[in-house]
Amino acid sequence: MPPVLNCETSSSTATNANTENGFKLNDDDEFSKKLVISNAVDNESKSDQNSNFDDDDDDEPLLRENPNRFVLFPIQYHDIWIMYKKAEASFWTVEEVDLSRDIAHWNQLNANEKHFITHVLAFFAASDGIVNENLAERFIRDVQIPEARCFYGFQIAIENVHSEMYSLLINTYVSDRSEQDFLFNAIRNLPCVEKKAKWAIRWTQDDSVTFAERLIAFAAVEGIFFSGSFAAIFWLKKRGLMPGLTFSNELISRDEGLHCDFACLLFHHIRNRPSPQRIVDIIIDAVSIEQEFLTDALPVSLIGMNSKLMSDYIEYCADRLLVELNCEKHYKTANPFEFMEQISLEGKSNFFEKRVAEYQKSGVMSRPEDQIFVTDADF
C-alpha cells in the first residue's frame, strides 16, 4: 500500500520533486500537480520496499530480491507450484453450502450450545481478516518467488470466502441485529477473541521478528488456533446436527490444513531458521492461548465435549506441527478424538490429501497426457 500523504507532506514532497526534475510547476496545472505527487508517492513506496531487503535476505532464496518475480514460467519451485495447483483445484463458494436444514436444528439447540457456536463463528469471522492482512502486508511482499506469490494470492481469495461463509452463518442463525453487530465486532467485544487476535496481529506488526518466525506463528494460527474450534464443530456433526455448518467446516478445515502445510513447506526452503527452542516457544505460547480459549473462556463443555480431552487434542495438533517443522514432539499427547482421524490437520492420509472428487475443480490437477483423446479405448 503506498504511503498516505497529508497536506503538509504532499506540499513539501511535491516541491522537492519539482526542483529535482528541473521543471517549473504551474500552480494552475492540476495534472502536473498530480503527476509530481504521484512520482513522490512512487519514490517513497520504492524506498519502503527496498528497506524490506536487508542483508539477511540475500542469504534466503525465498526473500532475495528477484528481478524475475513478475514472470511465472519457467517454474523453478515445483513443490511450491504443486501446492498452488492443489489450492486452485479446491476452490469453492458459499453458494455451494446448503443452510436450509440448519434452522430447524438451531431451534432445537439449548442456550449453551447456541452461545458456543455463535462465539466460535465470531472468532472465525474476524480471524480470516487478520490472516489476510498478514498475507497482504507481509508475506506476499516479502516472498520474491512467483510460485509462492501465486499460492498467497489464491489464499487471500479463499480466506475471503471463509470470511463470507462465517458472516453468512451468523446472519442465518442470529436474527437479532444488535447481537449480530456484537458478534461481528468480537475483537472489541469479546476478551477471549481479542486475546487471540492480538497475538496474531502482533506477529504481523512486529518488525523485529524474522520471516521464519512470522511463518511459524501463522502456521500456529491455522494449525492450532483453528484446530480446536474445527474439532468442536465436527463434534456437532458426530451428533448429526447442523449439516450446513458442518459441511462448510469440512471445506474450511481442508483449506486451512493446506495453508498450514504450505507454511511448513516454505519453512523447509529457509536457510537461516530459528533455533528449535525458539520454534517450541512460539508453539507453546499458541497452545496456551488456545487451551484457555476452549477450556475456560469458551469451554467446549457447553456443547457436551470433555474440556480435558480438548486440551489434549490441542497439544496433539501442536506436536504434529512441531514434527513438520523438524522439531521433536513437546507434549507427546495421543489424539483423544477418534472422530478427527479422517479430518484432522495432519495432511498425510487424511481428508485434505485424499482430495474428495466433489470438492475439486474439474481438470485442474490433471496432466496434459491425461487429456489426450483416443479411439482405441476398451469399453
On whether 78 is known to bind a ligand per the annotation, the reply is no
Q: What is the pLDDT of residues 97-108, one digit of tens each?
A: 999 999 999 999
Report which residue type is found at 182. F
Instruction: Give the cell for residue 358.
Output: 466433489
Q: What is the pLDDT of residue 151?
A: 95
Q: What is the pLDDT of residue 238?
A: 84
Find the catalytic residue in 152, 166, 316, 359: 166
Whether residue 166 lies in the annotated active site? yes
Q: What is the pLDDT of residue 378?
A: 55
1-5 — which CB contacts under 8 Å span 24+ positions? 1/137, 2/41, 2/42, 2/44, 2/45, 3/41, 3/44, 3/45, 3/48, 5/37, 5/40, 5/41
Report which residue type is found at 100. S
pLDDT of the chain, 379 residues: tens digit per residue:
444 334 333 444 444 444 444 334 444 444 344 434 444 444 444 444 444 444 466 688 887 887 888 887 888 889 999 999 999 999 999 999 999 999 999 999 999 999 999 999 998 888 878 888 888 888 888 889 999 999 999 999 999 999 999 999 999 999 999 999 999 998 898 888 888 889 988 998 888 999 999 999 999 999 999 888 898 899 888 888 999 999 999 999 999 999 999 999 999 999 999 999 999 999 999 999 999 888 877 888 888 888 899 999 999 999 999 999 999 999 999 999 887 875 544 333 343 443 443 445 545 555 555 555 455 555 4
Cα angle 299, 205, 159 (rounded to 5 degrees) comes to 60
- 340 within 8 A of 235, measured Cβ to Cβ: no
- A 10 A CB-CB count for 303 gives 21
On whether 20 is known to bind a ligand per the annotation, the reply is no
Supply the DSSP symbol for 335: -
H-assigned helices in 52-176: 78-89, 102-108, 111-134, 140-142, 146-173
- What does 61-77 look like in DSSP terms, one character per residue? TTTS--TTTT--PSPS-
Q: What is the pLDDT of residue 349?
A: 36
Q: What is the pLDDT of residue 10?
A: 40
Q: What is the pLDDT of residue 297?
A: 75
On whether 256 is known to bind a ligand per the annotation, the reply is yes
Q: What is the pLDDT of residue 52?
A: 43
